């Protein structure tokens, strides 16, 4: 119960920061102030809160859970590829979007697309697809909050209540504090997690009797030795994952966040330190997830290991529903919390739990981004701001925050999938597939609104098709995939234990490539925006 009390105290501090930020902006009912903190964030807050916006329940609970079942490959799959691709895209795209936002007053990506391609309703289609894809991100934040509080309190706080508390806290400081409150909370949370992540590794390592012995024991057992290598993952699958981080810059909350910097020079430290921040957070999570396989005296972890063993040995003869049940039992989203519960003293477990809570609650940025998009891309665009004024626009944004949080909570209570799968299969692949829109808008004079529409419709269709395919074809047992379509000995479409494979790649690869091709082909066939508009975007460098 003590850890739960510490976590509740932490939630109180977070609320205070949000409300404190609100006080600073009282009386300034300007949309730019509420949604973008008046484009005034300094370098320190900009780096830490931009990074914190990307570190969600997926990064902390999902990564350690994935590492628990798949081994060290998790770090190479997502962390090190993100360490290169995300800062690179912030360097190339984020800086340009910041400059355009400063020049033309954009507050959302869709505003920029509408201006760049001289379109209106096509912008609304892009908004709708972005909003639907962003919702899972908010949902996993609430699910992560429920899981964390339930585990830390030893079941005293049930999952539904924990999720509700997290949703309420996040909703409150986003409602009152807007972007300024969210940015300061994210900064506080990122510092907390960076500090406590390192402490967690030391404490758990000490409790386990040192990592050297644990690593040797994992290596000695045929069942766990592959977790220290990547032999269970194909190189094509590994390569596919480098496409996933393209999603980061296409996420509206990241792009909107790029608009909050006071000066462009603030991007410099952000892009240089971003890879190191990723390493500092993911390395402990992945490593502890792998090491959890050595733990024999935690019944919940033993149950997961047993479910995984049964799935591997008897999965082929089971019904799909039984396999799904075992997968759910083997899911490792709470292993890092179980380790803390077992090896950390009570007060420290509370502090470390608060650190994890910090990362889990990063869904605030997505909620605020959705609110910004709704009020700017729909409410203001279709005349609401003109008719009712800017103060009503901000109030609409706040009401939207409440409605969205309630909807996300309701879905989170019913969604059965592991955090990692839910996020990766829908939100990440979808946004990666939307990244060609940004590249085309900023770097290609010949791009058109019809090309943008083609890419967007393709992205939406592909996400729905993958989801429908995986719902229709049950996941096979661990081992070779179920080939659905092959031609001349080449596997074209297959259902794998973890998802779908197209020519051996994850669906994100063909999704991004086809999206880019559609942008090129359709743009070449259709009329470009006026020369005056194009000139505004491609002024010659002095």
Partner 1 sequence: MKRTLLVIAVAVVYVLHQDFWFWRTARPLVFGFVPVGLFYHACFAVLASLLLWLLVKHAWPSHLEREAESQTHDHEEEAR
Residues that bind partner 1 (CB under 8 A): 72-73, 75-76, 79-81, 83-84, 87-88, 91, 95-96, 98-100, 102-103, 210-212, 214-216, 219, 225, 228-231, 235, 238-239, 242, 263-265, 268, 271-276, 278-279, 283, 286-287, 539, 541-542
Compute the distance between CA of residue 150 and CA of residue 171 in angstroms, rounded to an integer: 20
Cβ closest to partner 1, residue 96 vs residue 449: 96
Compute the distance between CA of residue 159 and CA of residue 232 in angstroms, rounded to an integer: 33
Beta strands in 189-317 (DSSP E): none
Cβ closest to partner 1, residue 67 vs residue 122: 67
Cβ closest to partner 1, residue 99 vs residue 483: 99
Cβ closest to partner 1, residue 280 vs residue 402: 280
Compute the distance between CA of residue 523 and CA of residue 451 in angstroms, rounded to an integer: 5
Q: How far is the CB of 28 from partner 1 (least distance, A)?
A: 17
Cα 503–525–459 angle (5° rounding)?
40
Cβ closest to partner 1, residue 485 vs residue 538: 538
Cβ closest to partner 1, residue 76 vs residue 476: 76
Lookup result for tokens 């944004």: 397
**Cα radius of gyration rounded to whole Å, the chain:** 23
Compute the distance between CA of residue 63 and CA of residue 82 in angstroms, rounded to an integer: 13
Q: How far is the CB of 216 from partner 1 (least distance, A)?
A: 8
For 430, list phi and psi in degrees, rounded to 5.
-65, -45
The angle that helices 121-152 and 449-472 make with each other, rounded to 10 degrees, is: 40
Q: How far is the CB of 70 from partner 1 (least distance, A)?
A: 13
Compute the distance between CA of residue 458 and CA of residue 462 in angstroms, rounded to an integer: 6
Q: Return the structure tokens found at 494.
A: 């297959």
18, 185 contact by CB (below 8 A): yes
Cα 28 versus chain centre, distance: 31
Q: How far is the CB of 84 from partner 1 (least distance, A)?
A: 4
Compute the distance between CA of residue 202 and CA of residue 4 in angstroms, rounded to an integer: 22
Q: What is the DSSP letter of 263?
A: S
Long-range pairs for 74-79: beta carbons < 8 A, 24 or more residues apart: 74/286, 74/289, 75/282, 75/283, 75/286, 76/230, 76/238, 76/241, 77/233, 77/238, 77/241, 78/241, 78/244, 78/245, 78/282, 79/278, 79/279, 79/282, 79/283, 79/286
Q: How far is the CB of 445 from partner 1 (least distance, A)?
A: 17
Q: How far is the CB of 213 from partner 1 (least distance, A)?
A: 8
Cβ closest to partner 1, residue 233 vs residue 330: 233
Cβ closest to partner 1, residue 225 vs residue 467: 225
The angle that helices 121-152 and 159-207 make with each other, rounded to 10 degrees, is: 60
Cβ closest to partner 1, residue 20 vs residue 273: 273
Cβ closest to partner 1, residue 95 vs residue 111: 95
Cβ closest to partner 1, residue 212 vs residue 317: 212
E strand or H helix that includes residue 496: strand 490-496
186, 49 contact by CB (below 8 A): yes
């Amino acid at each position: 119960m003590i850890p739960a009390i510490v976590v509740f105290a932490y939630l109180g501090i977070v609320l205070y920061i949000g409300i404190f930020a609100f006080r600073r902006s009282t009386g300034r009912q300007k949309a730019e102030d509420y949604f973008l903190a008046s484009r005034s964030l300094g370098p320190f807050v900009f780096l830490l809160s931009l990074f914190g916006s990307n570190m969600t329940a997926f990064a902390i609970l999902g990564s350690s859970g994935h590492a628990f079942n798949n081994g060290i490959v998790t770090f190479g799959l997502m962390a090190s590829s993100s360490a290169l691709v995300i800062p690179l895209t912030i360097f190339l795209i984020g800086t340009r979007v910041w400059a355009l936002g400063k020049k033309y007053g954009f507050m959302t990506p869709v505003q920029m697309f509408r201006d760049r391609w001289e379109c209106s309703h096509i912008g609304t289609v892009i908004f709708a697809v972005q909003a639907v894809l962003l919702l899972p991100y908010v949902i996993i934040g609430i699910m992560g909050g429920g899981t964390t509080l339930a585990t830390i309190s030893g079941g005293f706080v049930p999952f539904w209540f924990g999720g509700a508390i997290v949703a309420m806290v996040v909703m409150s400081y986003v409602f009152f504090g807007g972007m300024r409150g969210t940015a300061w909370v994210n900064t506080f949370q990122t510092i907390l997690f960076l500090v406590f992540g390192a402490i967690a590794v030391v404490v758990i390592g000490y409790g386990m009797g040192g990592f050297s012995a644990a690593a040797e024991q994992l290596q000695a057992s045929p069942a766990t030795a592959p977790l220290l290598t990547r032999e269970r993952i194909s190189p094509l699958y590994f390569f596919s994952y480098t496409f996933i981080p393209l999603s980061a810059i296409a996420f509206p909350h990241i792009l909107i966040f790029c608009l909050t910097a006071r000066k462009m020079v603030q991007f410099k430290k952000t892009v240089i330190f971003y890879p190191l921040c990723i390493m500092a957070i993911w390395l402990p999570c992945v490593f502890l997830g792998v090491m959890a396989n050595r733990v024999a005296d935690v019944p919940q972890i033993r149950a997961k290991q047993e479910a995984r063993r049964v799935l591997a040995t008897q999965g082929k003869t089971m019904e799909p529903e039984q396999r799904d049940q075992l997968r759910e039992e083997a899911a490792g989203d709470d292993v890092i919390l179980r380790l803390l519960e077992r090896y950390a003293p009570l007060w420290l477990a509370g502090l470390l739990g608060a650190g994890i809570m910090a990362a889990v609650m990063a869904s605030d940025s997505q909620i605020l981004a959705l609110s910004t998009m709704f009020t700017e891309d729909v409410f203001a665009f279709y005349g609401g701001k003109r008719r009712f004024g800017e103060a009503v626009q901000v109030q609409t944004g706040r009401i939207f925050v409440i409605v969205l949080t309630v909807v996300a909570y309701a879905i989170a209570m019913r969604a059965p999938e592991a955090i990692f799968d839910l996020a990766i299969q829908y939100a990440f692949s979808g946004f990666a597939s939307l990244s060609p829109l940004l590249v085309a808008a900023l770097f290609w004079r010949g791009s058109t609104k019809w090309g943008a529409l083609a890419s967007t419709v393709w992205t939406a269709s592909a996400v729905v098709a993958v989801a429908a395919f995986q719902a229709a074809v049950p996941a096979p047992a661990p081992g070779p995939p179920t080939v659905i379509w092959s031609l001349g000995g080449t596997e074209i479409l297959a259902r794998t234990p973890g998802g779908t494979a197209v020519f051996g790649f994850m669906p994100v690869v063909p999704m991004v490539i086809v999206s880019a091709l559609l942008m090129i082909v359709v743009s070449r066939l259709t009329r470009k925006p006026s020369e005056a508009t194009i000139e505004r975007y491609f002024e010659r460098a002095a």
